Structure 1
Amino acid sequence: MQNSNSFPDWHGTTILAVAKDGKTVIAGDGQVSMGATVVKGSARKVRRLAGGKVIAGFAGATADAFTLLERLEAKLEQYPDQLARACVDLAKDWRTDRYLRRLEAMLIVADKSSIYTVTGVGDVLEPDQGVAAIGSGGSYALAAARALIDGDLDAETIARKAMGIAADICVYTNGSLTVETV
């Protein structure tokens, strides 16, 4: 039995970023689960920031992710066209601020030329192969996208196919996708 003071066991996110041929795509599935029950199938976990020049996807607690996205938006206003600096500054604040360090979420953030995975332990990671993923089905989507990246497919097609593979394998991932491109 679950302690009434604890949060429910929320699962259900796969976020994938793919960069290829000058385009960057972030795709996110729509499933939110509580234990073995799907409570929502069409959540929107990918957002546009900085007037559409930046896209971000989140995994984890939704309210926490929205707080982080708001902070990232402020950093992007402070450092326009400097995505790496904004992400590093966010990660620094996230790690050192007493309130922020309790937030349970992860972000993938991208612009036309860069992808970063940002975590609450101070990580700002740029992928080697132009592919990054987070969330319950992240490993499956990442493996599928890496297998497809060297072929003739464009970034969006790779992201959609890889997310489909993740949805077929991970019970916390569905095929209801939000896809944004820069």
Structure 2
Amino acid sequence: MSTAMSEQTTTGPGWHGTTILAVRKDGRTVIAGDGQVSMGPTIVKGAARKVRTLAGGKVLAGFAGATADAFTLIERLEAKLEQYPDQLARACVDLAKDWRTDRYLRRLEAMLLVADKASIFTVTGVGDVLEPEYGVAAVGSGGNYALAAARALLDNTDLDAEAIARRAMAIAADIDVYTNGNLTIETL
């Protein structure tokens, strides 16, 4: 059996890519996500919704990775937000701790970008809860492209947070084949 076939069989169907970007500027926070879902070289869906509002509209979350895994993590995050209202950092740290130590959760393959009006966090399955220095964070296959574009636009233009997110996501979609221009954008 070829290496590619063996790898695909053991790691799943080869679902690929997304781009999620969070931007905070002038008191506004935006999370944008593209809609493309790919399986190998095939686009299987172009309008997936990978950005959600949580905690009664006070928190935004976007995900990259396996969809069912991400939904499981978002449900867990919602429970943590109920347990620790208005304490996003604590809820994220508690989720990351559970994700790292729970045998079931450890197998989940996704990353989350989570934000409220004051903070943005990247939450990973290896226990990371990272807050960006510049008010911009990104995950997914086109994440580095969107991050670089947003960082360049943040201080060098008069664009607001949403306009920066839209422009940066368009740049990522032009570069990354696993990212499209069909965006879901949520704002606080």
**For residue 160 of structure 2, what is the amino acid of its counterpart?**
D
Which residue of the partner structure matches residue 55 of structure 1? 60
2:10 and 2:139 mapped to 1: Cα distance?
27
2:145 and 2:10 mapped to 1: Cα distance?
33
List aligned pairs for 1:33-182, cutoff 5 A: 33-150=38-155, 151-182=157-188
**For residue 27 of structure 1, what is the amino acid of its counterpart?**
A
- Give 1:6 shift: 4.3
State the TM-score, normalized to the length of structure 1.
Answer: 0.98
RMSD across aligned C-alpha pairs, in angstroms? 0.9
- Give 1:12 shift: 2.3
* Greater helix fraction, Structure 1 or Structure 2: 2
2:181 and 2:10 mapped to 1: Cα distance?
33
Gaps of 5+ in 1: none
State the TM-score, normalized to the length of structure 2.
Answer: 0.95
1:152 and 1:176 mapped to 2: Cα distance?
24
The alignment of Structure 1 onto Structure 2 pairs a total of residues equal to 182
Change (3 A) 1:142 1:5: closer
Q: Share of identical aligned residues, percent?
A: 82
Gaps of 5+ in 2: none
1:12 and 1:94 mapped to 2: Cα distance?
22
> Residue 23 of structure 2 is aligned with which of 12, 15, 18?
18
